[in-house]
Structure 1
Amino acid sequence: MTESHQQSGTVEYFLQDIEHHGRNERTAAAYQRVLSEYEQFLDDRFDKTPPAASYRDCMAWVHELRTTHSESTVATYASYLNRFYSYLERVGHTEENPMTVVLEEMTESIESNPTRRDVTLAQMRSFVTDIRHPLHQALVTTLLKTGIRAGELCNLDLIDLNLAHDAQTWQPRAHIAGRPDSLFVATEHTYGRESGGELRTASNKRKRETVVPIDEELKAVLVRWLAVRPDTPSRTTTGAATEPLFVGTADSWGERLTPNVVHHVVEQYARERGWYRTGGGAAENVTPHYFRHFFTTHLRDRTGDRGIVQYLRGDVASDVIDTYTHNWGDRVRETYLEHIYSLSV
């Protein structure tokens, strides 16, 4: 950190706080070094202080770390920043912890089988039934019915959806043109890079592109959403227009949703159920990533076919699919439609 860049009072107060809680000098020094580097990064890149940083700013810092540090070191530094922002949230210096969604995305590669809250199917059905807002209902139902990540949900374009319904007024992409009632999840979208003529705010982390079947329940929810979806397209850096599937209906009217918005929508309803607590971790809080865990657990138990579930999650490469028949797409659809759970009470 340059001499001209003074360490903010928020960092100093936080360091005093962890010392009061018994952290040794070595640990405190590590926090100070990491937070100082983070402050310098924000100042140089975005001309911001930590309390003003957003999820995107924190994610940019994580991406920067990955160019020079191992994943384990990046995870450690991210945990430092998360505790720092939890402190700022607790003392009222920021309204939210921007690292919550960042850590949620990172957790997937760190914890292969974390212990989580046990929500029964009956409880989840009641949870979904209480959601009346067409957009919110579509977001939650899509996450629960497909197992896709929040970032992948945000990256969906209208052309990634093929519905056998009059509500569809666009030509779906070639991958699903002959597959009605299907959702296409791509691999090419990356945070901070242009894709489809648009700068993306989230990454798709799948190992291969995936075609996910849509059952009648999800179809009905999506049709209801399309009936009220704002027509305003997302403007691209090239002047062309992409049409995101899920867009804002409040402050960001007609703009593509971000993972942070999706997280807060889920958090809003989870809090009302007592399923989310500020400061709670993955074992306690119901988040968009919890829905991916719920989908995986229930569909794997119902089908007994780990390969198909791995494919739907985007976790496997071509060699796994090659162990099945050439009629892979039909097998996935038949197995999915036979076993996917209903979310209706």
Structure 2
Amino acid sequence: MTDKHDSREQFAETFDQEIDPLQKYEGGFRSIGADPFDLFTTEILDQKGKSNTRNNYTIPIDQWTEYMEDAGRHPACPGKRHVEGFVDYQRNELGNSKQTTKQKLIHLNRVYKFWVSEDSLPQDGSYNPFKKVLDDTEWEEDNTKTPPNLSVDDVADVLVTVKHWKHRVIILLMLFLGIRAQEACNIELSELNIQHDELKQQYPELGTHDRLPDGVDAIYFPTRYDREGNKSKNERIMPIPDELKVALVRYLMVRPDNGKPWLLLSHTRHNQMGNSKINEIWKDYFHPQYKYGDDEKYDSITSHFGRHYFTTWFKKEKDWNRELVKYMRGDSIKGKDGDSLDDYVHPYFEDIRERYLEEIYKFGLR
């Protein structure tokens, strides 16, 4: 039987087709100092003016550029095999899920489509290796697998190794509040109320959001309609347990006070942190111990584990009312006794606060 690669070569030669049509532009791109990714950044990302949007592009761009450098090809002129190799690299070496890998390809595809629209660049719409791989790849996850069933002590054993205060805050926010990675990135200082005089002086905007109750440690989460990137349809207010408060105070004491509104700032530029970085932080501490292969029983632990663990704890371990759990998760829910959404947020917070603080897991952190 003829090898697939050989047969493609034969077809291409016979019908005067190019299998790797961008290869011929390799020398041209390397001969000039201009970077086509910078053109995309200037023309598209700088116009959006949102750092979380920028982060969602810069991370896959940086990873793609590094991968292509190792492959010996300029990142602006890939073949389909390079994109397929990048998918394999994301899945098997970086340990990303199919959906995370797909999102990175979607962002790279948008960059490529910009290049196609740019008259000064050689790419055209007749060949797009990113779209080809996106269309040809099976992206559905195996939904039958779940994360490992860890005890509170198991999780605590990992948490005590997290000495970096920002990293500890990130992981604890998601474990204690059941939030998604992007929701963590979107928290603003005004939405975080901590009873701490020194912090109030350092951050005058801390806890000033008008939806927050007075005099208690609490955090407010806007809806998807009020905050780009949030997925919840309903706003909610959550208590802040002691272990999370300790971590938040220690982090905020050393956080760069640069006037940015977000709680979590990126390491280098001190802008809003991107959700991909949050996932990397989870993997840094929970892998390789809780990393699993495709043929193993469990899903590897990623940033989504916090929301899964939180939900399982209150629904199964503590047998909470389904409506209250949905409130804490930000899921769709009707108002109390038919009230409007604006009317139910504070009553629900009052319903859950004392019981939540009593029954939420304690990790014994200092």
Q: TM-score higher than 0.5 here?
A: yes
Q: Which amino acid aligns with 2:216?
A: P
- What are the residue-to-residue correspondences of 1:297-308 with 2, within 5 Å? 297-300=312-315, 301-308=317-324
Report the counterpart of residue 348 of structure 2 in structure 1.
328
Q: Aligned with 2:318: secondary structure?
A: helix
Taking every aligned residue pair, what percent have the same amino acid on both sides? 25
How much does 1:291 deviate?
A: 1.1
Instruction: Return the letter of the residue paired with 1:339.
Output: E
RMSD of Structure 2 on Structure 1 (CA): 4.2
How far does residue 337 in structure 1 lie from its aligned partner after superposition? 1.1
Q: 2:271 aligns with which of 225, 230, 255?
A: 255
Aligned pair partner of 2:246 in 220, 228, 233: 220
Task: State the Cα distance separating 1:119 from its structure 2 match.
Answer: 1.5
Which stretch has the larger CA shift, 312-321 or 126-135?
312-321
In structure 2, what is the equivalent of residue 128 of structure 1? 159
Label 1:46 to 1:180 Cα distance change in 2 as closer, same or farther (>3 A). same
Kept in 2, the 8 Å contact 1:135–1:225? The answer is yes
1:149 aligns with 180
SS, match of residue 287 in structure 2: helix
Question: Counterpart of 1:178?
Answer: 214
SS at match of 2:281: helix
Q: Kindly report which structure 2 residues correspond to 1:24-103, keeping only aligned pairs within 5 A, or say none.
A: 46=40, 56-57=56-57, 85-89=86-90, 101=100
Instruction: Indicate the residue corresponding to 1:10 in structure 2.
Output: none
Match of 1:276 among 291, 311, 321: 291
Cα pair 1:55 1:99 within 8 Å, conserved? no
Q: Which amino acid aligns with 1:311?
A: Y
Structure 1 residues 303 and 224: alpha-carbon distance in aligned structure 2, compared to 1, 3 A threshold: farther
CA 321–175 in structure 1, closer or farther in 2 if over 3 Å, else same: farther
Of 288, 293, 308, 1:293 maps to: 308
> Would the aligned equivalents of 2:222 and 2:235 in 1 still touch at CA under 8 Å?
yes
1:313 aligns with 2:325: no
Deviations 1:161-182 (A, max 9, x none): 0011122332420000525200
Counterpart amino acid of residue 250 in structure 2:
R
The TM-score normalised by the length of structure 2 is: 0.59
The aligned counterpart of 2:64 is: none
Letter of the aligned partner of 2:100 in structure 1? V
1:276-317 deviations in Å (ceiling 9; x for gaps)? 257689942111101110011012221432221111100123
Which amino acid counterpart does residue 272 of structure 2 have in structure 1?
A: R
Question: Secondary structure at 1:336's aligned position in 2?
Answer: helix
2:125 alignment partner in structure 1: none
Q: How many Å apart are 1:318 and its aligned residue?
A: 3.0
Contact 1:55 1:98 survives alignment (8 Å): no
TM-fit CA distance, 1:159: 0.4
User: Aligned ranges for residues 97-116 of structure 1 at < 5 Å?
Assistant: 101=100, 115-116=146-147
Aligned equivalent of 1:244, options 254, 262, 276:
262
**1:97–1:140 CA distance, 2 compared to 1 (3 A):** closer
CA shift for structure 1 position 56: 2.8
Question: Separation in 1 of the partners of 2:152 and 2:92?
Answer: 37
Give ranges in structure 2 of 5+ residues lacking alignment. 9-35, 42-53, 61-82, 104-139
Whether the 8 Å CA contact 1:58–1:102 is kept in 2: the answer is: no
User: Are the counterparts in 2 of residues 101 and 263 from structure 1 also a CA contact under 8 Å?
Assistant: no
| 2:189 aligned with 1:158 | yes
Structure 2 residue identity aligned to 1:287: T
Letter aligned with residue 328 of structure 1: Y
Look up the match of 2:258.
232
Number of matched pairs: 255
**Does structure 1 residue 339 correspond to structure 2 residue 340?**
no
* Distance across 2 between alignment mates of 1:280 and 1:154: 32
**Cα distance in 2, alignment partners of residues 297 and 247 from structure 1:** 30
CA distance in 1, matches of 2:40, 2:296: 29
Given the superposition, is the C-alpha separation of residues 101 and 325 from structure 1 closer, same or farther in structure 2, using an over 3 Å criterion? Answer: closer
Q: Is the alpha carbon distance of 1:88 and 1:126 closer, same or farther for their aligned partners in structure 2, counting shifts above 3 Å?
A: closer
The corresponding residue for 2:232 is: 206
* Contact 1:207–1:316 under 8 Å retained in 2: yes
Q: Which has the larger radius of gyration?
A: 2
Sort the Cα spacing of 1:228 and 1:325 in 2 relative to 1 into closer, same or farther, 3 A.
closer
For 2:184 and 2:295, the matched residues in 1 are separated by 24
1:131 aligned counterpart, secondary structure: coil
CA contact (8 A) 2:314 2:325 kept: yes
